[in-house]
Amino acid sequence: MPGITREEVAHLARLARLELQDEELDHFATQLDDIIGAVARVSEVAEQDVPPTSHPLPLTNVMRPDVVRPSLTPQAALSGAPAQEQQRFKVPQILGED
């Protein structure tokens, strides 16, 4: 299998909107080629009877019962806020959107 070329790395960088220097393209091409080779080696040894999994051990999410408890009133929650509007925290606009 041919290795990852610097042109392919440059294309991926453009898609990801990354600006890479020439020496970075060569460096990342080598690294990506090594990663793809390692994944290919793992695929070679995977048996047909082994199902794909994201974790080697079974995981169980531990959940507690959802119990309604007394909480702060809107006035108490907003009492220390530097600015508020319509019972909400008011923060400075950061994205230039309305």
Phi, psi of 40 (to 5 degrees): -65, -40
pLDDT tens for each residue of 55-83:
878 888 889 999 999 999 999 999 999 99
Contact predicate 83/89, CB 8 Å: yes
The ranges assigned to domains in the chain are 6-45
pLDDT tens for each residue of 20-54:
999 999 999 999 989 988 988 887 776 777 777 77
- CA dist 45 and 54 (Å) reads 17
Class of domain 6-45: mainly alpha
Structure tokens at 75: 């006035």
- The CA-based angle 80-86-88, given to 5 degrees, is 45
- CA dist 94 and 84 (Å) reads 17
Contact predicate 33/4, CB 8 Å: yes
pTM: 0.44
- CA dist 48 and 70 (Å) reads 54
Determine the pLDDT at residue 97.
66
